[in-house]
Amino acid sequence: MGKHWPPGAPRLPDPGRILESLERGEIGPAEAFARWRGLDRPPAASMSSHEPPAPTAPDVLGELDSLIGLAEVKRLVKEIRAFAVIQARRAREGLAAEATALHMIFRGNPGTGKTTVARLLGKILHGAGVLENGHVVEVERADLVGQYVGHTAQRTREQIRRASGGILFIDEAYSLARGGDKDFGREAIDTLVKAIEDHKDFIVILAGYRLEMRAFILANPGLRSRFPLHLDFPDYTGGELLAIADLMLREREYRLDREAHQELAWRFDGQRPREGGPDNAGNARLVRNVIEQAMRRQACRLLGQERIGREDLVTITRADLGGDGGRCGSV
């Protein structure tokens, strides 16, 4: 049996489940907040000014903090880092150090920040001295599973070799169990488990939809014990999607006028995909599509204008967000 994270601590309730219970009427709002109290506790004290000097560049942690939403994910990432730093320090002092496995499961819909967090985590754990390089190798089923017996093990080992000193991020990992026992996906899982035992110089992150990942882990006891860290990536709220749109536009030196903001507030309201569905409604990809389209429409609108000022160049108006305004027409 592998070690649990954090060592000895009870498993925290999943915020998504609290909301599901509320929605089903099993608990009322007062109880939902009470259960939440345990979750939304402030970051561990070890992350405050008492934190020992660590080699992690603070700007990486700042980058993590600047991500919109993801409060629980940020807290856990900081805990993992703090724990890793302290274990290394304990080892230097000759104290018993927990060799806790840092392999993780990232559960959530597409576009909820899983890959972004994985990349930051690589840098953070590199800074903390846990990973030699901290790079992230992103793969999916097709990169691991081969065409004939033996081919899969070879391909999987190749990806593991590339991830040495960093993170092997397997997206939609549940698809490895898709074809049942005779499928080559099984061989990839077995190769992975063996590599985790043999090599301690890399971290594996298995990512995918929440329910699919839960079923996948339950069906593979060998993985359950070796992946002690589970991070949930909830869908963004309407307000968070709006904040993401704002940020993406600011990075591109554009801004929304107030009417356009109001339009997007409506557009993003209640935009949440169904669990496991193909929809990418409630996530950052939707936002990117919307703003990139708006930038093109703004360009069309401006070309039809006689005079174009600097302010015009940076402003996205409501007309640019759809409807009939700003189309270039059949040019």
C-beta closer to another protein: residue 238 or 325? 238
Does residue 310 belong to the site contacting another protein (CB under 8 A)?
A: no
Q: Does 62 bind another protein (CB under 8 A)?
A: no
71-78 contact pairs (CB < 8 A, 24+): 71/40, 72/15, 72/39, 72/231, 72/232, 73/113, 73/117, 73/231, 73/232, 73/233, 74/43, 75/41, 75/43, 75/44, 76/229, 76/231, 77/117, 77/120, 77/121, 77/124, 77/231, 78/43, 78/44, 78/47
12, 22, 47, 281: which one binds another protein (CB under 8 A): 22
- For another protein (CB under 8 A), the number of binding residues is 42
Please tell me whether residue 248 binds another protein under the rule CB under 8 A: no
How many residues would you count in the chain?
331
Say whether residue 15 binds another protein (CB under 8 A). yes
Task: Decide if residue 33 touches another protein (CB under 8 A).
Answer: yes
Nearer to another protein, 59 or 269 (CB): 269
Selected binder of another protein within 179, 270, 276, 277 (CB under 8 A): 270
Figure out which of the listed residues 50, 92, 182, 266 binds another protein, where binding follows CB under 8 A.
266
29 binds another protein (CB under 8 A): yes
DSSP string, 119-187: HHHHHHHHHTTSSSS--EEEE-HHHH--SSTTHHHHHHHHHHHHTTTSEEEETTGGGGGTT-TTSTHHH
Query: Are 120 and 159 spatial neighbours (Cβ–Cβ below 8 Å)?
Result: no
Q: Applying CB under 8 A, does 288 fall inside the site for another protein?
A: no
- For residue 6, say if its preceding peptide bond is cis, omega within 30 degrees of 0: yes
- Selection from 159, 164, 118 nearest residue 140 by Cα: 159
User: Helix, strand, or coil here: 70?
Assistant: coil
Select the residue interacting with another protein from 133, 237, 280, 315 (CB under 8 A). Answer: 237
Q: Which is nearer to another protein, 247 or 295 (CB)?
A: 247
Task: Report, in Å, the least distance between residue 282 CB and another protein.
Answer: 10
Decide if residue 222 touches another protein (CB under 8 A). no
Query: Residue 176's closest CA among 212, 145, 207, 151?
Result: 145
40 binds another protein (CB under 8 A): yes
Among 88, 248, 265, 314, binds another protein (CB under 8 A): 265
Q: Note whether 71 binds another protein by CB under 8 A.
A: yes
Interface residue with another protein, options 171, 187, 263, 320 (CB under 8 A): 263
| Distance (Å, whole) CA 195 – CA 207 | 18
Interface residues with another protein (CB under 8 A) are 15, 19-20, 22-34, 36-37, 40-42, 69, 71, 234, 236-240, 242-243, 246-247, 258, 261-263, 265-267, 269-270
